[in-house]
A and B are shown apart, each in its own frame.
Chain A
Amino acid sequence: MELGFLLQLLLNGLIVGALYGVVAMSFVLIYKASQVVNFAQGEFLLVGAWVCWWLLTAWQLPFWLGFLVTLAFMTLFGILLQVVVLRPLIGEPVISVIMVTIGLSIFFQALMKWMFGVFAQPFPPVFAVERVRVLGLEVQSVYLFSLAISVAIMLGFWWFFTYSKHGLAMRATAFDQQVAASLGVSVPRVFAMSWAISAVVSAVAGVVVGVVNGVSSALSFYGIKVFPAVILGGLDSIVGAVLGGLIVGVLENLAQWLDAEWLNWGNMYQVAPFYAMILILLIKPYGLFGTETIERV
């Protein structure tokens, strides 16, 4: 029983961690492309999941259609945010940009509560829920589905940045905006595109969590869990973000295991990632895999 418990927690950590990884990836995407630290990343999950839920319950759309409409909506949403709110702030100090995204986060959290209430709402059953046995452990199929989606998104990212024209343009912009612009890359368009992709990918994660746990304000907390993940993985590395997400997911569940077996403090699950983050920053001020910027005058 003991070992089984630990294994189950670890598996849960990997599943949740993969989702953290996906969100962290889309966070890093925005940071790399437009140098904006997005404190409203969690609200992308929240808005996406609520919109999808609303389409499915109020309009009775089939899942695939509602899902596609949600993705289209999130594309527009991401572009609009970038063009209307963040474009005027190009060139402003870091703190102003951070504050604007915090403002967005407060605004959308309150708006979603106002529109959809405070109850966790279940998704209509998307597929027949049944259990599957993996390595001798009982696992719900929704979890496997969520893991599969996470891996698919990660593969999609890899393909996009390695082979597609737009992906290469984004990498070029992230590397050096002026050079990219001089080579014919439209920097404003790349900015808008990075926000759109980030919003869409986060919304997918939001819908997945919604299908598993129900849609609720808890989704916006994913945006905060992203920080330990990216600090672990380094702010500018997409692969690092995925790794960081996985580590945070596993770390949380290990903390819960320690807590349940020996400490009985409670709440370790919530705070452990932040302790880890502070420790890492104390030792390595630029994160585990982050690149140290060397400044020359």
Chain B
Amino acid sequence: MATMTPAGDYRSTYREDMTIFPTRGSRIALWVGLALLCLAPLVLDRYLLHLLINIGFLGIAALGLNILVGFTGQISIGHAAFFGFGAFASAWAHEALHIPVALAIPLAGLATALIGLVFGAPAARLKGLYLAIATLAAQFILEDFFARARWFTGGVAGRVTEPFSLFGFAFDTDETYFYVVLAFVVVMFAGAANLMRTRDGRALVAVRDHYLSAEMMGINLAYYRTLSFGIASFYAGIGGALYAHYLLFVSVEAFNILFSIQFLGMVIIGGLGTIKGSLMGAAFMVLLPEVVQSLADMLAGGAVDRALKLGASISYLREMAIGAAIILFLIFEPDGLAHRWQQIKAYWKLYPYSH
């Protein structure tokens, strides 16, 4: 394994082509990064930890959506509903079946995957726009179900959940829960990176790139489209369950259409069809409102504040910023943050001879 990426394509075996870490440097960078993250709770304050935890579980769910949208080319405008299903399933499994939280989270992921398969099977027949509209309908129908199914969700009043605990130790502070989320992030992202190297992963990409050619090469379209829904829902379910045991409260209100759209925004802003892009997109979507808020705080009390009534309308500004960010990214950076990151790396690698 080389320490630097060579200037040409010298890969001569499939094994080399499929490696996750092209250079030793990238592998070292990952381990160092992980080690630094493990130290984070000792250094960072709770506010930053809170943001990192949010980025973690949203990133897991966004990765699921990216597998569906970015790798398989299917559209879903109902991802938040699956995220919510995972959250409710985990809370319910713990409360009604007395399954420990540490076990309820993966179980919730599996249950959500099942639901995803149920919705995915008919969706495999639909394409593009019709699929988008069908998932939109699924979003509204699932929301209505959550509000009705009191035995499962606690109805419109929601459900209080218990913190994650392992061997009698409760992970109920930002500092401790951070490690739980970090562990899940590592496992889920490593899983996705490896999935994409397998036959199944490549089949998904083939379905996206040209489904007719893929079918001619012997790939079962219906199977892989349904499978992709299942995987996406599994990731959404895990993300949702982590959310439920972090917030300690789940309610149907959170899983609305705007949240679904935010997931799509994460995937597009991060970069369709990239694994690390999902995390970048989640980070962007979590940090954007915070930046808007602090901008408004900076202007607070000034003339601009009085003229625009910033204090009272910060929520609208936040929503407008989300809408505008999605539009601007698609116009000016359609390949997402992951692509921009590659370009920045390439620029510095060749500096000062970039042209």
- Contacts from A to B (Cβ < 8 Å): 37, 85, 88-89, 92, 94-96, 98-100, 102-111, 113-114, 224, 227-228, 231, 235, 265, 267, 270-271, 274-275, 277-278, 281-282, 285-287, 295, 297
Known: A89-B330, A103-B326, A286-B130. A110 touches B141 (CB 8 A): no
User: Is the CB of B144 closer than 8 A to any CB of chain A?
Assistant: yes
**What 10 pairs across the A-B complex have the smallest Cβ distances?**
A107-B323, A106-B323, A103-B326, A110-B319, A114-B316, A274-B137, A103-B327, A110-B316, A110-B320, A103-B323
Question: Which chain A residues border B132 with CB–CB below 8 Å?
Answer: 37, 94-95, 98
B319 pairs with A278, CB closer than 8 A: no
In the assembled complex, 23 residue pairs joining A and B whose CB atoms fall closer than 8 Å, in A order, are A85-B327, A89-B331, A94-B75, A94-B128, A98-B132, A99-B326, A100-B331, A102-B264, A103-B323, A104-B323, A106-B322, A106-B323, A107-B324, A109-B319, A110-B317, A111-B316, A227-B137, A271-B140, A271-B144, A274-B141, A278-B134, A285-B126, A286-B130
**B 300-327 binary contact with A (CB < 8 Å = 1; else 0):** 0000000000000101110110111111
B141: contacting residue among A113, A265, A275, CB under 8 A: A275
Indicate if B122 sits at the interface (CB-CB under 8 A).
yes
- Chain B residue total in the interface (Cβ 8 A): 43
A94 cross-chain contacts in B, Cβ below 8 A = 75, 128-129, 132
Binary CB contact string for chain B from 98 to 131 against chain A (1 if under 8 A, 0 otherwise): 0000000000000000000000001001111110
Q: Which of B125, B213, B319, B323 contacts A285 (CB 8 A)?
A: B125
B268 proximal to A (CB < 8 A): yes
Give the interface SS of chain A, mostly helix, strand, loop or mixed. Answer: helix
Query: Smallest CB-CB separation from A114: which chain B residue?
Result: B316
- Choose one: A37, A99, A224; the contact of B264 (CB below 8 Å): A99
> Which residues of B are in contact with A by a Cβ distance under 8 Å?
69, 75, 122, 125-130, 132-134, 136-138, 140-141, 144, 147-148, 212-213, 258, 261, 264-265, 268, 272, 313, 315-317, 319-320, 322-327, 330-331, 334
| Complex interface: chain B residues within 8 A of A102 (CB) | 261, 264, 326
B155 to chain A, nearest CB (A): 12
Please measure, in the bound complex, the distance between the C-alpha atom of A235 and the C-alpha atom of B140, giving whole angstroms: 21
Question: How far apart are the CA atoms of A89 and B130 in the complex, in Å?
Answer: 20
Residue of B nearest to A37 (CB): B129
Q: B330 touches which one: A103, A224, A235, A278 (CB < 8 A)?
A: A103
A285 to B330, CA, bound (A): 29
Contact of B323 among A110, A224, A267, A270 (CB under 8 A): A110
Bound-complex Cα distance A113 to B138 (A): 27
Chain A residue contacts of B130, Cβ below 8 A = 231, 281, 285-287
Known A110-B320, A277-B133: A267·B327 in contact at CB below 8 Å: no
Q: Are B319 and A99 in contact (CB under 8 A)?
A: no
